[in-house]
Amino acid sequence: MEPFKKLTGVAAPLDLINIDTDMIIPKQFLKTIKRTGLGVNLFAEMRYDDDGKENPDFVLNQPAWRKAQILVAGANFGCGSSREHAPWAILDFGIRCVIAPSFADIFYNNCFKNGILPIILPQEQVDLLMDDAKRGANAIVTVDLESQEITGPDGGKIKFDVDPFRKHCLINGLDDIGLTLVKKPSIDTFEDRQKLSQPWLYA
């Protein structure tokens, strides 16, 4: 997993509440178990019309936000079914940070496991960042995980909270497998000792 320390990029405004996982990645795109290739279908039902053509009114189809790396959204982001394809699609599009007043629990947890930083802020602070994001290409925002601080286009700063263990995992690029591999020396020592005391387990 790619480490997350500091991210500077364009923030896209998605001023909607209750964006569920089916809106993030519709069910017809869930056949794959690969984590790549889903970005093109992110928010598919809002991004494209019935003929597959881009909807010019959707924020991520507009030139200023096509390469957004930060998403500012409404409350209860990621509600609905617990599909892990939702953070996969967000990450594959290029977004590594989602800021909202609240998140659905399973989606929130899945973000950390996939290298995405979900930030919960009070509504009034989200509103400020939403206004900043609406500036388009000038909506450059910096998210510094190490200092737990967001810097807006005008230099204003907002502090945010994050669980220390999750912060450690993101900064060091540790997913569940990576966390296990950190213990590899201890695992190897245990197995070597077990091979001597219980060799029949390895026959």
Round the average pLDDT of the chain to a whole number and report it.
93
How does residue 193 score in pLDDT terms, banded at 50, 70 and 90?
A: confident
pLDDT surpasses 80 at 74: yes
Evaluate whether 172 touches 35 at the Cβ level (below 8 Å).
no
Provide the token pair at 175: 């997913």
Query: Is the domain of 103 the same as that of 46?
Result: yes
Q: What is the pLDDT of residue 3?
A: 95
Query: Is the domain of 141 the same as that of 183?
Result: no
At 95, which CATH number? 3.20.19.10
Provide the token pair at 34: 């690969």
pLDDT surpasses 80 at 178: no
- Which pLDDT tens digit goes with each residue over 76-106? 999 998 889 999 999 999 999 999 999 999 9
- What residue has token string 């995405």? 116
Question: Among 144, 142, 167, 161, which Cα is nearest to 153's?
Answer: 142
- Which pLDDT tens digit goes with each residue over 118-176? 999 999 999 999 999 998 877 899 999 999 999 999 999 999 999 999 999 999 999 87
Q: What is the pLDDT of residue 186?
A: 79
Classify residue 120: in a domain, yes or no. Answer: yes
pLDDT surpasses 80 at 181: no
Query: Is the domain of 160 the same as that of 186?
Result: no
DSSP per residue over 7-31, as a string? EEEEEEEE--S--BHHHHS-GGG-S
Classify residue 186: in a domain, yes or no. Answer: yes
Residue span of the structural domain in which 184 resides:
175-203
Q: Phi/psi class of residue 67: alpha, beta or left (left: φ > 0; alpha: ψ in -120 to 50)?
A: alpha
Classify residue 1: in a domain, yes or no. Answer: no
Query: Is the domain of 90 the same as that of 186?
Result: no
- Which pLDDT tens digit goes with each residue over 24-39? 999 988 888 888 899 9
Total domains present in the chain: 2
Query: Is the domain of 89 the same as that of 21?
Result: yes
Report the relative pairing of strands 6-14 and 140-144 from DSSP bridges: antiparallel
